[in-house]
Structure 1
C-alpha cells in the first residue's frame, strides 16, 4: 500500500492531485506548523495573482488544524472573490459546487481546506481515501522524516510517495532500514497551474486527463 502525506492547500495546482491519484491513502498533514509563506491559505488564480484566505494572525507555532478565520472573514473573502470575478452561482455542476463552497458558511479553516480538496478530487474522478494526520495514533514527539515513517507504518503502508520538490527532505536509506520504499513523482509537466478557472469553465475532463497523464513515478 502506497501512502502520500501533504499539507492541505487551497485549490492547489493540478500537480498536487497527482499524489491522490498515485496513492492508496492520502493524508492531510494538518498537525504541523502553519507555513505562512506557503500555499495552505492561498492559491494562484492567474500568474503572480493570489487569492488569500482571511485568517486571523496567530502565533508562529500555530498548527494548520488550529487556524482561525478573521472576525470579518466572510465579507473580506467575498470581496477578494469578486476581485477575481468568481461568480456566486454557476450552471455546470462542478462550477456550482465550487461557488457554493467558496461563498458558503465558513466553519473551521481546516474543514474549508479539506472540502475544497475533496471537491476537486471527486470532480476529476479520484476516489482515494483522505484522512487527517491529527486523527492518527502516532508519536507526537516525532519530527520530519521520522514522523512520516511513523504515519506510513501506522497505516500498514509499504511505500511513501512524495512530490518531486520534497526530494531533499528524505533519505531513502532510512526508509529502507525499516522496510519501506521512498518514491517521488516526476516534475509536473501539465498545463493546469491555476485550477479554479478550469473548474469554473467546465473543463474538468481535460483537467482529469492532465492529472493522470502527468502522474508518473521516478525510477
Structure 2
C-alpha cells in the first residue's frame, strides 16, 4: 500500500505563509468548508502591511439570520469589496520589488464575480499554489461523504481519500481523539510551522502574521526560500 499524506482545513481568505506550507507538506489538501462559518475569523479576512501598521482586508458576507450556515453556504455580500481590496493592495505594495508581476497574477481573480466565499478562497489558494509550484491535490469535503463525530469524520475523510497519514494543525490538539486514528491505522502527525526567517518587507518592524501576498509582493518567486516549501520541493 502506497503512503499518502492528507490534511483537512477550512479555507481562509488569502492565508498566511504557514497555511501554504501545510498544503505543500501533504499529497492531498481537503478544504473543510462543511464546517460552520465563524465570524471575526480568518475565513473572510486577512492582514496586510501599510505605513500605519497592519490592516484588515475583509470580504463582506451575508450572516444575518444565518447562525448555523457552513462556510460553503456563506454568500459574499455585494461586489464593491473587490475594488476596495484591489486599490488597497495597489496602494500599499506599489513600491514592492515584484508588484507588477503579482498584481498581474491577481487581477483576473479580483475582476471575477464570486457568489460564495468558498469559491473565492479556493481560487486564490490555487493561484498562489500554482505560483509557488506547489502541486498538491486540492479537493473539497463536499467531494466526500460526511459522517458524524469530529474526529471520526476526519478519519473517515482521510480513509476515503486513500490517506495513510493525517497531518493536523497544532490547534486541533484540543479536540482530536488520537485513539480514533490509532484504531483505523492512520498515522497522526502534528504539523509544526517552525521559526520562519524574516524576509525583505515594507513599512517598519517585521510582521509574520500577514497574508501570503505580502511575501509575494516583496519576494516574488524567491518566497519559497523563506518558507518550508522550497525544502519540500527539492
Equivalent residue, structure 2, for 1:23 = 26
Question: Is the CA contact (8 Å cut-off) linking 1:185 and 1:215 kept in structure 2?
Answer: no
Equivalent residue, structure 1, for 2:156 = 150
Task: Give 5+ residue unaligned stretches, structure 2.
Answer: 199-207
How many pairs align? 209
- Separation (CA, whole Å) in 2 of partners of 1:42 and 1:147: 27
Question: Is the CA contact (8 Å cut-off) linking 1:14 and 1:207 kept in structure 2?
Answer: no
Question: Is the CA contact (8 Å cut-off) linking 2:5 and 2:167 kept in structure 1?
Answer: yes
* TM-score normalized with structure 2 length: 0.80
Change (3 A) 1:215 1:49: farther
Task: Give 5+ residue unaligned stretches, structure 1.
Answer: none
Equivalent residue, structure 2, for 1:165 = 171
Question: Is the CA contact (8 Å cut-off) linking 2:224 and 2:230 kept in structure 1?
Answer: no
Displacement after TM superposition at 1:214 (Å): 9.0
Q: Residue deviations 1:170-193, cap 9 Å, x none?
A: 232221111111101113422453
1:207 aligns with 2:212: no
Change (3 A) 1:65 1:52: same
Change (3 A) 1:99 1:148: same
**Aligned with 2:139 (options 131, 149, 173):** 131
Question: Is the CA contact (8 Å cut-off) linking 1:172 and 1:181 kept in structure 2?
Answer: no
1:76 aligns with 2:81: yes
**Aligned with 2:215 (options 191, 198, 202):** 198
- Separation (CA, whole Å) in 1 of partners of 2:113 and 2:161: 33
Report SS of the residue matched to 1:64.
coil
Equivalent residue, structure 1, for 2:104 = 96
* TM-score normalized with structure 1 length: 0.85
Equivalent residue, structure 2, for 1:60 = 67
Q: Residue deviations 1:117-143, cap 9 Å, x none?
A: 00111111101000000111232xx13
Q: Residue deviations 1:86-141, cap 9 Å, x none?
A: 689x631x4312132124323432111100000111111101000000111232xx
Question: What is the alpha-carbon root mean square deviation over aligned residues?
Answer: 2.4
- Separation (CA, whole Å) in 1 of partners of 2:189 and 2:17: 19
Question: Is the CA contact (8 Å cut-off) linking 1:8 and 1:29 kept in structure 2?
Answer: yes
Displacement after TM superposition at 1:152 (Å): 0.5
1:35 aligns with 2:11: no
Question: Is the CA contact (8 Å cut-off) linking 2:46 and 2:58 kept in structure 1?
Answer: yes
